[in-house]
Structure 1
Amino acid sequence: MSQDRILLAVALRLTSVALFAMMSATIKLAQQGGAHLAEILFWRQAGAAILVAAIVAAGPGFASLRTQRFGAHTLRTVIGLTAMALTFTTLILLPLAEATTIGFSMPIFATVLGALVLKEPTGWRRWAAVATGFAGVLIVTQPFGSGHHIPLLGVLTGLTAAGGTATVSILLRTIGRTEKTLTTVFWFSTLSLVPLGIAYAMTAQAHTAAMWATLIAVGLLGGVAQLAMTASLTYGPVSTVVPMDYTSLMWATLLGWLLFDRLPAPATWIGAPVIILSGLYIVWREHVRRREETLQATAQGLV
């Protein structure tokens, strides 16, 4: 893989992280402006659906979206949409930096699910990283402390969202064996609009021009960010691009300070590096494991 492609992959991932952080801030602004959660979710998915449909129409055409795994896409939509709703709820309940930090626990849940569901080999090193990551979560959330600096409900929704996102990542490993990325993104976006359309019809309300612009921005920022994130995996390996996701804490801290006059609590400054380091180690160990499996398979093929 050329250095140029890896640099492009990293640039795309960093771009997606920045756009997702802006989307998160925009979600908080929309909620504070009176928008209902169902409205925010609808416009988020509508923006992504429109963007993906435009790319498909300009490229391979809609015939390329045919699938024989509609049930898998439906399951991915149910779990993914639930995780997204919980993520948005967490963003509404918690400061941006804390909500982002709790989201970093996703690789921890993915490791646990990979071991339990996919029976992936998980040595003591990765289990130690999982335990360390959860210790970092406890530092940030302080569930046993006398004064909670963040709402417990937001912690619960954030951790459940991270678990749901990890479940989606496991499911996508099986779907990705037969389905192209655009196909998966398209079906997730469009299938989500069915329940969200019903919820939107029940909660739709009049807004100012500024609020409509905010809701549309949620969809456009999320759609472009999702495409950039997906494209980054096309040009670079997971072990290279995924660590870039942790730069989102920088954006969350900056946007939280500029837009909401909130800086992370002292516990977050302590716990966040612990969670980040555990996540980075898990990603690195996964890279090592896959490299060893590839070398072993190659050696067996040469014998």
Structure 2
Amino acid sequence: MTSSENRNRPGMALLIRLGAVAALATMSALIKVAGEHHINLIEILFWRQFVALPIILGWLLSTAGVSALATKRPWSHARRAGFGLLGMVLNFGGVMLLPLAEATTMSFTAPIWAVILSTLVLKESVGIYRWAAVILGFTGVLVIAQPGGGHIPLFGACVALGGAFMVAVVSIQIADLNKTERPLTIVFWFAAFSTAITVVALPFVITRHTPFEWLLLMGMAVSGTIGQILLTSALRFGKVASVIVMDYSSLFWATLYGWLIWHTLPSASTWIGAPLIIVAGIVIAWREHYLGRIGKRKRLADPGT
């Protein structure tokens, strides 16, 4: 099988992406349980990133080799780690503060924030389709949050939305790093820098844990790392635009875990608002894919541009 054929296996890409989503949803459920056991968020962040390091190294040893970790952009990785760590604080905090399905739904607003950032930061021209998707998505947020009278705490909703915003910010940084770095190199240095940052605060927050709590922490770290590796691997077989829709399957896992662990189901407002946010994300992904194809055709037609 040729390299190009290996990279064009959409069915394989979708299956791997589904596996990644399931692993990350499992991580979120374990984080929520860990929070209920009063494990400090900083300690959760430390173990999430520290345990990832040997797993990523083992993966690299069996694939590209440790030489793949070489980088000429350490400060770019450090800056990405700082923003990424803030994003993890907000995203993990949202999971702890909100019902799992609602926290997951709020994370779906990341593409909406990306459209806004592309306008404000990158000065890109955004047309009516994507602006309509932005309005539709935030309508879904209002339906779910119901400011002033909703079933979920407004502060928790704001934290979760902040986490989605940081995902959009970090995506811009990763897009820049991807120009020169391998995906697993980016993941490794994020884990390394964020481990170094959180270890400074660890002595002030670490506590004794039961065997069950250690299982929670290790399970959270391993499932999160596996999810990251699978996310990276999916892009070897398919394009982002073709696999990103699978990310919305995380709502299924969040609903399932919510029912199995907490015996709760999403409220009626979530069932109404979530489809609005999901449709908005799909429209944005479709539009990005469409515009990318148009741009590629123009470059092929006029290589001098």
Q: Normalised by the size of structure 2, how large is the TM-score?
A: 0.95
CA distance in 2, matches of 1:302, 1:115: 26
Superposition map of 1:259-270 within 5 A: 259-270=261-272
In the TM superposition, residue 302 of structure 1 has moved relative to its aligned partner by: 9.2
The residue aligned with 2:226 is 224
For the aligned residue pairs, the C-alpha RMSD in angstroms reads 1.6
The residue aligned with 1:258 is 260
Contact residue 139 and residue 268 of structure 1 kept, 8 A: yes
In the TM superposition, residue 115 of structure 1 has moved relative to its aligned partner by: 2.0
Establish whether residue 275 from structure 1 lines up as the match of residue 255 from structure 2: no
Q: CA deviation digits over 1:120-144, x for unaligned, max 9?
A: 331111111111111111111111x
CA distance in 1, matches of 2:26, 2:233: 19
In the TM superposition, residue 2 of structure 1 has moved relative to its aligned partner by: 5.0
Superposition map of 1:95-244 within 5 A: 95-143=99-147, 145=148, 147-244=149-246
Q: CA deviation digits over 1:245-265, x for unaligned, max 9?
A: 001101101110110111111
Report how many residues are paired.
301
Where does the alignment leave 5 or more consecutive residues of structure 2 unmatched?
none
Establish whether residue 10 from structure 1 lines up as the match of residue 18 from structure 2: no
Q: Which sits farther off after the overlay, 54-63 or 70-79? A: 54-63
The residue aligned with 1:299 is 301
SS of residue matched to 1:150: coil
SS of residue matched to 2:105: helix
In the TM superposition, residue 112 of structure 1 has moved relative to its aligned partner by: 1.0
The residue aligned with 1:32 is 36
Contact residue 16 and residue 233 of structure 2 kept, 8 A: yes
The residue aligned with 2:64 is 60
CA distance in 2, matches of 1:64, 1:262: 45
Establish whether residue 71 from structure 1 lines up as the match of residue 75 from structure 2: yes
Establish whether residue 88 from structure 1 lines up as the match of residue 92 from structure 2: yes
In the TM superposition, residue 200 of structure 1 has moved relative to its aligned partner by: 1.8
Q: CA deviation digits over 1:205-249, x for unaligned, max 9?
A: 111111111110010000001000111112101111101000110
CA distance in 2, matches of 1:224, 1:46: 14
**Given residue 287 of structure 2, which amino acid in structure 1 is its aligned partner?**
R
**Given residue 278 of structure 2, which amino acid in structure 1 is its aligned partner?**
I
CA distance in 2, matches of 1:41, 1:302: 48
Where does the alignment leave 5 or more consecutive residues of structure 1 unmatched?
none
**Given residue 239 of structure 1, which amino acid in structure 2 is its aligned partner?**
A
In the TM superposition, residue 294 of structure 1 has moved relative to its aligned partner by: 0.4
Q: Which sits farther off after the overlay, 233-242 or 44-53? A: 44-53
**Given residue 241 of structure 1, which amino acid in structure 2 is its aligned partner?**
V
Q: Normalised by the size of structure 1, how large is the TM-score?
A: 0.96
**Given residue 32 of structure 2, which amino acid in structure 1 is its aligned partner?**
K
CA distance in 2, matches of 1:248, 1:153: 23
CA distance in 2, matches of 1:187, 1:302: 37
Q: CA deviation digits over 1:128-182, x for unaligned, max 9?
A: 1111111111111111x4x321111111111111111100001111111111111
Q: CA deviation digits over 1:183-203, x for unaligned, max 9?
A: 111100111101111222221
CA distance in 2, matches of 1:173, 1:121: 18
The residue aligned with 2:53 is 49
